[in-house]
Structure 1
Amino acid sequence: MTMEVWPGKPYPRGATFDGTGVNFAVFSQVATRVEICLFDPRDPSKEIGRFDLPEVTDLTWHGYVPGLEAGTLYGLRVHGPYDPRNGQRCNPYKLLVDPYAKALHGEVDWSQPVFGYPLGNEAQDLMRDERDSAPGMPRCVVVGNDFDWGNDRRPDVPWRKTVIYEAHVKGLTMRHPKVPEHQRGTYAGLAHPAVIEHLLKLGVTAVELLPIHEFADDSFLGEKGLKNYWGYNTLCYFAPEHQYASRSTPGAAVNEFKGMVKALHAAGIEVILDVVYNHTCEGNHLGPTLSLKGIDNTAYYWTMPEARYYLDFTGCGNSVNASSPAGARLIVDSLRYWVEEMHVDGFRFDLATVLGRMGKGEFNPHAPIFQTINQDPVLSRVKLIAEPWDVGLGGYQVGGFAAPWREWNGKYRDALRRYWKGDENLAGEVGYRLAGSSDLYQEARRRPQASINFVTAHDGFTLHDLVTYSHKHNEANGERNRDGADDNQAWNCGVEGETDNPEVVSLRERQKRNLLASLFLSQGVPMLVAGDEMGRTQGGNNNAYCQDNELSWLDWNLDERRQSLLEFTSRLIQFRHRQPVLQRRRFFQGKQIWDSEYKDLTWFNPDGTEMRQEDWGKPFVRSLAFLLGGDAIPSLDERGQRIIGDALLVLLNAHHEPVGFTVPAPAEGTRWVIEFYTADDRRGPEEPVPAGPFELTGRSLAVFRQVPRD
């Protein structure tokens, strides 16, 4: 196949179809030659053309081919130095994925020579392997821009109203009976009306999707008959994972993903992506050569002073260097693409501390990549969430990021888990967490919404398993139960695993309600993991990253207990939406505001006396109460109008025995009614509660609401 190649342009990077041809642009500061290989869309294994990019501008190789169309399949070959000791690993025998490709077709075949060096050789990676890797590599797809967004508008939900639902695209719908079989496990399945109806009834305002960037499976998992289910093994930061498309046509995932976003937006639900810009699937110096490693290794990755080896802050073999111009630009260009072209509403950054590492690898909350994102007119307007830790020295940075970033609050998770299983010396910690974690965020002039509160996440126990198992049971992962965290702050309520014992079952259901109620009564932004509202179990597996099967997929066939938990969770979230006192923009002051007779927040001992400073440090304080002052709190809507909310009284008893509380007298002309009581979810709402003694069952929580007296 002969073709005419024009000089083209150095921007945008990647392959861009303009209606009459395709412009190719590839950055590499070490390349001596860059080839584009074209493949037959009808037979992707067949190469049908090859040409050099003829021009280099500012270290970007580029060329334009008139007549090429959307749907064209291609790959890169980069000529340049193969000198691993100095960090250079160019190898033109290895077909590479364009890091700016908008779609991929096919999978990495680990049985093919996709490593840049001959396996088994004593010199290992120091010698270049000269076998062609093309038979084992996915093809890049030239993508058009023919999707009709219509009147799509971002929901732009304020942080104070945000409720996040962390979900896996495939796992959410693989067993959903109302989703057509060919759409189960796909973007189209997530956009199905039955799924959206569930989200709306539940009350969530945003879905946070586990990684949907194209990722590579792991060779060691394939050998065990397992798969990388979660997808934290990125191959390309611009392409949506094609296995989640309901059609196999090359590039079909792009428009199907857009259709999913459009459908969720129409329902008022935002889309947040869990993104893995901290490392790639190319691993360490003994990993494969699939993309960045063969294009310009040291421009994109952190390397040690002996540049053959990688600095690894992730535990995955390599770390993307966001402090380098090339690494930072790749990340920012990718983010802008997903916002501008794919219409997503925000990002959760996996191991975000890696992005802030500079110099010799130390973390800086004001690193250039953060400043660039914060000042960007597009990116600064979307939701930005950091997982504020990595595995490197000084990597735990909860409270260490700067506005406008929000953070997964791991201290919230740990405190609430420990409190409800009955640990001591937690009163002060729990007080801070329920009230928005001012100890972490207020000094830096951040707001309560800086804290993303969660009790469970995709990694770790599900909510059901958290109260059913005290120890992990990861045997199915094939690592002799050595993988996954050992410290889970979990409690099995007296029996390890499932049981028919009615007392244990009752306690477990109560504990689930306690944890959910605590989450949605807390200041900050709550995050719920998909399936926790329905008692999903993974059989005690707390590291199901490789379980692409019914262990991970949601079971929508609900028995009475699971249906009851779903209804309870929905009531909780809807209650939160109705109560501005639970959506604070600012931290509590502990004093009277405006004309209310209540303080904005008051903490009580069970006997009804206000808690004093010395009370917080008492080791056996497992029972406490707090009063949110309703109209004492200056809640304003987005137009600046004052919102009048209800006063709420919350009683918490993590002790195993009943505790007598004294309910304070309500304001004149009002009375207390039960809104929630986790010991008996049949009580309330609207059941009256007189002032005075109230016995709170062991390990339970109650919420009273102040209403006008009849």
Structure 2
Amino acid sequence: MSSRARVWPGKSYPLGAVWDGKGVNFALFSAHAEKVELCLFDSSGQREIERLTLHENTDQIWHGYVPGLWPGALYGYRVSGPYEPQLGHRFNHHKLLLDPYAKQFYGVLHLRDEHCGYQVGHSNADLSFDARDNAREMLKCVVVDTSFNWEGDRLPEIPWSQTLIYETHVRGYTIRHEGLPHHLRGTFAGFAHPEIISYLRALGITSVELMPVHAFVDDRFLTDRGLRNYWGYNTLCFFAPEPRYLSGGDLAEFKTMVKRLHDAGIEVLLDVVYNHTAEGNELGPTLSFRGIDNASYYRLHPGSRRHYINDTGCGNTLNIAHPRVLQMVMDSLRYWVNEMHVDGFRFDLAVTLGREEYGYDRQGGFFDAIRQDPALARVKVIAEPWDIGPGGYQLGGFPAGTAEWNDRFRDTTRRFWRGDDAMLPRLAPNLLASSDLFEHDCRRPWTTINYVASHDGFTLADLVSYNDRHNEANGENNRDGHPSNFSNNYGIEGPTNDSAIQQIRLRQRRNMLATLILAQGTPMLLAGDEFGRSQRGNNNAYCQDNEINWIDWRHMPPEEAEFLDFIRRLINLRREHPVLRRYTFLHGKQISKTTGLRDIEWISPGGGALADRHWQEAKARCFGMLLAGDAGEYFTQDGHPEIDDTLLIILNAGSSTLPFRMPSVSGARHWRCLLDTARPRLAAGEVLIDTGADLQMESQAVIVFALVRESGS
């Protein structure tokens, strides 16, 4: 039977391979291809059993319908066209290509010379042409049945004001957990295990942010060194989950994980990489996009379309300005929301997504598409506000509806607790959700994603244990990773048995997390920071799929168990007090009807308001933040207004104990201590101090007090 008789015309929409119960419709975009062939393989993926030409081309979509094909079928594409790198075209029909819309892959990909469209090592480099067939060693796309029983799934829909994000890695979080069966460790099924979910609930987080779960590739320069792309910021396909995270190879495993987390009231956010792909620069492999339509999928240098614009630092930049590429990204986002039920996204190098031909534009096509899309309107959208291109740092420069990672909060908090000079005027706006950056376009305080540590950089424990990065294991002579960490080892580089150093490190960790959790805005906690996870001083552990990155659940010393208990109390304190998560930015203007206090007042150690001279004093290390509990409106779940406690948060980053006069407030006689980082075992309410009295404020500590009104409320 001829391929024309075997393949019906089919439809140009939707793109990808779609099974309808009787057969499969295939649709692939390529504006410059001359021929597209669909290759079908046997169940081993080793033998090509049929090659079918897709004769139909509608609006640059090549399409065809194959009757009688079922889920589980393995396929790929061969795309013919000009091989003219100088003009941006890199077609090579000898290379089997992956469907950009594939929902699942079969096999394991090891990058080899034959996966490149040119002859590796040739004197003409990428201008040469490689005629070897790579099909046997290439991944195969899998036709899938996307149906799943979502009955009973209820989206948590956590309000931004109550959100606490927990950044983690599916594999590293579960691979060494002894409470999980061995075959589930390192997988979505392992993350869905009751042991993991009960821990997350007890900790008090509301939303897990999973590092990349889209299928990705281990860079060849890493595998040659015996390393892997552990983090996963090297996306191969925007629809398929990473195969190594599927314990049984079934897509339902990811959906089951989401459903179980939802049952526990926990949201699932995905860290996604739509700024570049795993194909790298002109010397990279031809795996999918490059061989399908290089000139459409990537941003190329106008002077020499042989080379790629590299605003990402990863070799290439996806051409989001192209309507079909933008469509693919939007289709991917909708797929993960509608089919996989995820609750939001963190966009890696999000500035790249807003780049138009003339530069970055926060009103660009990508952001417009996100804002108008009904499926995406209800999910959380978070931007990493930088890339390495021109004007690539855009903190505060994103449109309404977008939250942003706030590295200014991170660096200022670290420097304040390290004891750097002149930090008071820098820290204060960050404690109030950085209104100078985020208040435009009627954005809310939760727009700022506050953090002191993330996957990229030192862990919290390493911040107080190392002065310098120690990335020797990465094989780059310790040159990679950021050199400025604003850390302090307190006398000894790395682990120590010195009890005095151990205690100050524990206290500084409590101080930094207290600053994070008590600040206005949305806090993000790095997984393992709640019990002292270390990466041995590696601040760029992207390639370490080993004990450097894996969380060790096997042994928790008493001091870390105590630290974990303290963090749970801290998180619970934030949850119980809405004054810590206000709906509006604080500017010291609203007046409390009961106490006469402003919504925010900055208190000096003398008990009065911080004067200009205090703000300008470089050596000032101690101040108080007074939040009036009835200066704003708070509401219970049934819509009734409520009044919160008035809280006083005192921070002292100095090296000396000093007297701090407790503010006098109309209608109140006492302050009740809720939490003290210098005395982590102190029970709430155990210490009561009179208004107007002097408190001996410990060095390097945070204390939280609640005002006790005369009525006893």
TM-score normalised according to structure 1 size? 0.97
8 A contact 1:353–1:395 mirrored in 2: yes
The amino acid of 1:171's aligned partner reads G
| Alignment partner, residue 609 of structure 1 | 608
| Alignment partner, residue 170 of structure 2 | 169
8 A contact 2:255–2:341 mirrored in 1: yes
Q: How far is the alpha carbon of 1:565 from its aligned partner?
A: 1.2
C-alpha distance in structure 2 between counterparts of 1:670 and 1:274, whole Å: 49
What SS does the corresponding residue of 1:602 show, helix, strand or coil? strand
Alignment of 1:525-540 (within 5 A): 525-540=522-537
Listed as ranges, the gaps of 5+ residues in structure 1 are: none
| Alignment partner, residue 145 of structure 1 | 146
Alignment of 1:465-476 (within 5 A): 465-476=462-473
The amino acid of 1:13's aligned partner reads L
Give the alignment partner of residue 452 of structure 2, picking from 452, 455, 458: 455
C-alpha distance in structure 2 between counterparts of 1:307 and 1:7, whole Å: 34
| Alignment partner, residue 283 of structure 2 | 286
| Alignment partner, residue 18 of structure 1 | 20
Q: How far is the alpha carbon of 1:414 from its aligned partner?
A: 0.7
C-alpha distance in structure 1 between counterparts of 2:609 and 2:171, whole Å: 50
The amino acid of 2:383's aligned partner reads A
Is the aligned partner of 1:582 residue 2:583?
Answer: no
C-alpha distance in structure 1 between counterparts of 2:72 and 2:669, whole Å: 68
Q: How far is the alpha carbon of 1:107 from its aligned partner?
A: 2.5
What SS does the corresponding residue of 1:431 show, helix, strand or coil? helix
C-alpha distance in structure 1 between counterparts of 2:268 and 2:335, whole Å: 14
| Alignment partner, residue 32 of structure 1 | 34
Q: How far is the alpha carbon of 1:689 from its aligned partner?
A: 2.6
Higher mean C-alpha deviation, range 525-534 or range 2-11: 2-11
C-alpha distance in structure 1 between counterparts of 2:100 and 2:453, whole Å: 33
Give the alignment partner of residue 319 of structure 1, picking from 317, 324, 332: 317
C-alpha distance in structure 2 between counterparts of 1:610 and 1:668, whole Å: 19
| Alignment partner, residue 688 of structure 2 | 689
Is the aligned partner of 1:371 residue 2:373?
Answer: no
| Alignment partner, residue 245 of structure 1 | 246
C-alpha distance in structure 1 between counterparts of 2:136 and 2:477, whole Å: 34
8 A contact 2:653–2:700 mirrored in 1: yes
The amino acid of 2:12's aligned partner reads P
| Alignment partner, residue 80 of structure 2 | 79
| Alignment partner, residue 701 of structure 2 | 700
C-alpha distance in structure 2 between counterparts of 1:2 and 1:595, whole Å: 84
Give the alignment partner of residue 309 of structure 1, picking from 294, 303, 307: 307
C-alpha distance in structure 2 between counterparts of 1:255 and 1:283, whole Å: 31
What SS does the corresponding residue of 1:271 show, helix, strand or coil? strand
In structure 2, the CA distance between the partners of 1:107 and 1:340, relative to structure 1 (3 Å rule), is same
| Alignment partner, residue 634 of structure 1 | 633
Q: How far is the alpha carbon of 1:669 from its aligned partner?
A: 5.1
8 A contact 1:384–1:406 mirrored in 2: yes
Q: How far is the alpha carbon of 1:145 from its aligned partner?
A: 2.4
8 A contact 1:107–1:216 mirrored in 2: no
Q: How far is the alpha carbon of 1:46 from its aligned partner?
A: 1.4
| Alignment partner, residue 573 of structure 1 | 571
Alignment of 1:268-667 (within 5 A): 268-305=265-302, 306-360=304-358, 362-556=359-553, 557-593=555-591, 595-597=593-595, 598-637=597-636, 640-667=639-666
Aligned length: 704
C-alpha distance in structure 2 between counterparts of 1:432 and 1:499, whole Å: 36
The amino acid of 1:565's aligned partner reads F
Q: How far is the alpha carbon of 1:665 from its aligned partner?
A: 3.1
C-alpha distance in structure 1 between counterparts of 2:93 and 2:708, whole Å: 74
C-alpha distance in structure 1 between counterparts of 2:266 and 2:477, whole Å: 41
Q: How far is the alpha carbon of 1:667 from its aligned partner?
A: 4.8
C-alpha distance in structure 2 between counterparts of 1:6 and 1:670, whole Å: 83
What SS does the corresponding residue of 1:263 show, helix, strand or coil? helix
C-alpha distance in structure 2 between counterparts of 1:170 and 1:205, whole Å: 20
C-alpha distance in structure 1 between counterparts of 2:544 and 2:110, whole Å: 20
Q: How far is the alpha carbon of 1:636 from its aligned partner?
A: 3.2
Tell me the alpha carbon deviations over residues 140-176 of structure 1, each in whole angstroms, 9 at most, x when there is no partner. Answer: 0111023211111211000000000000000111111
What SS does the corresponding residue of 1:457 show, helix, strand or coil? coil
8 A contact 2:592–2:628 mirrored in 1: no
Q: How far is the alpha carbon of 1:538 from its aligned partner?
A: 0.7
8 A contact 1:647–1:705 mirrored in 2: yes
Tell me the alpha carbon deviations over residues 482-504 of structure 1, each in whole angstroms, 9 at most, x when there is no partner. Answer: 11110111111121111111111
Q: How far is the alpha carbon of 1:640 from its aligned partner?
A: 4.5
Q: How far is the alpha carbon of 1:594 from its aligned partner?
A: 5.1
In structure 2, the CA distance between the partners of 1:577 and 1:181, relative to structure 1 (3 Å rule), is same
The amino acid of 2:286's aligned partner reads T
Alignment of 1:211-290 (within 5 A): 211-247=212-248, 249=249, 252=250, 254-290=251-287
The amino acid of 1:27's aligned partner reads F
Q: How far is the alpha carbon of 1:380 from its aligned partner?
A: 1.8
Tell me the alpha carbon deviations over residues 126-153 of structure 1, each in whole angstroms, 9 at most, x when there is no partner. Answer: 1221111112211101110232111112
8 A contact 1:112–1:136 mirrored in 2: no
C-alpha distance in structure 2 between counterparts of 1:639 and 1:429, whole Å: 38
Is the aligned partner of 1:9 residue 2:17?
Answer: no
Q: Hey, which bits of structure 1, 4+ residues long, moved more than 6 A?
A: none
C-alpha distance in structure 2 between counterparts of 1:107 and 1:643, whole Å: 57
8 A contact 1:428–1:617 mirrored in 2: yes
C-alpha distance in structure 1 between counterparts of 2:503 and 2:705, whole Å: 22
C-alpha distance in structure 1 between counterparts of 2:50 and 2:69, whole Å: 12
The amino acid of 1:523's aligned partner reads Q
The amino acid of 1:653's aligned partner reads N
Listed as ranges, the gaps of 5+ residues in structure 2 are: none
Q: How far is the alpha carbon of 1:105 from its aligned partner?
A: 1.4
C-alpha distance in structure 2 between counterparts of 1:551 and 1:611, whole Å: 44
| Alignment partner, residue 94 of structure 1 | 95
8 A contact 1:666–1:672 mirrored in 2: no
What SS does the corresponding residue of 1:512 show, helix, strand or coil? helix
8 A contact 1:83–1:89 mirrored in 2: yes
C-alpha distance in structure 1 between counterparts of 2:167 and 2:708, whole Å: 34
The amino acid of 1:629's aligned partner reads A
Q: How far is the alpha carbon of 1:402 from its aligned partner?
A: 1.1
Q: How far is the alpha carbon of 1:674 from its aligned partner?
A: 1.3
8 A contact 1:604–1:626 mirrored in 2: yes
Is the aligned partner of 1:120 residue 2:121?
Answer: yes
| Alignment partner, residue 132 of structure 2 | 131
8 A contact 2:167–2:209 mirrored in 1: yes
In structure 2, the CA distance between the partners of 1:674 and 1:352, relative to structure 1 (3 Å rule), is same
The amino acid of 1:624's aligned partner reads F
In structure 2, the CA distance between the partners of 1:638 and 1:88, relative to structure 1 (3 Å rule), is farther
What SS does the corresponding residue of 1:484 show, helix, strand or coil? coil
Q: How far is the alpha carbon of 1:616 from its aligned partner?
A: 1.6
8 A contact 1:592–1:632 mirrored in 2: yes
8 A contact 2:45–2:136 mirrored in 1: no
Q: How far is the alpha carbon of 1:643 from its aligned partner?
A: 2.6
Q: How far is the alpha carbon of 1:561 from its aligned partner?
A: 1.3
The amino acid of 1:311's aligned partner reads I
Tell me the alpha carbon deviations over residues 555-577 of structure 1, each in whole angstroms, 9 at most, x when there is no partner. Answer: 11211111111111111111111
8 A contact 2:608–2:663 mirrored in 1: no
Tell me the alpha carbon deviations over residues 75-121 of structure 1, each in whole angstroms, 9 at most, x when there is no partner. Answer: 11111111100001111111111000001112222235000000111
